[in-house]
Amino acid sequence: MKNILTAVAVGILLFGAILFGNHKDAVFAAHPLNSLPSQAEANSLQPQIVAAERAGLDALKTGNVELFANLTADEAVFVDAAGPATKAQVVKNVNGFTLTEYSMEDVKFVPLSATSGLISYKTTEKGVSHGHEFTATVYVSSIWANRGGKWLCLFSQETLARIPPKQPN
């Protein structure tokens, strides 16, 4: 029984390596550990990815939906309290959405490959969503990949910050 489970596990790993290894643009393609970026490469990725994220937020600030869409991969997935959404759904929704202010605080970065990485940060934002003003504090995580010299967002998740309970006096 143990040999059968081991054979199945190896088969799954090999299938995954073949499947992902044949897609050169896949972020999580099967790479040997030595293909991860060096510390210097990782250090140069972070400002590029943060700048790409800011470009997306600035596009929402200026109402440039076309630029926002051009910074988003066709297969991108966005997740918020309403659940997952496709690029088409998000681009349609941002037509009625404008940021007036935003901040990016406590940015964290994880390199995923020599051409991709994940950032997470806290943002406090103000804006107008479909005719209603809003203010929100949100935790954001985004995965970006450089494809052909162009940074594209592949995934983004926003989680509304929890308001801590009031402490008794």
What digits encode the pLDDT tens for the residues 16-74?
A: 332 233 334 444 444 444 467 777 777 789 999 999 999 999 999 999 999 999 999 99
* % of the chain at pLDDT higher than 70: 79
The reported pTM is: 0.75
Per-residue pLDDT, averaged over 93-106, amounts to 94
Range from 49-53, 90-94, 138-142 carrying the lowest mean pLDDT: 90-94
Long-range contacts of residues 58-63, Cβ cutoff 8 Å, at least 24 apart? 60/94, 60/97, 60/98, 60/99, 60/127, 61/98, 61/99, 61/100, 61/102, 63/98
Distance of CA 72 to the CA centre of its chain: 10
Is residue 4's pLDDT more than 70? Answer: no
Domains of the chain: 37-160 (3.10.450.50)
**Over the chain, what is the mean pLDDT?**
82
The reported pLDDT for the residue numbered 81 is: 92
Q: Which of the four pLDDT bands, split at 50, 70 and 90, describes residue 163? A: confident
The reported pLDDT for the residue numbered 82 is: 92
The reported pLDDT for the residue numbered 76 is: 98
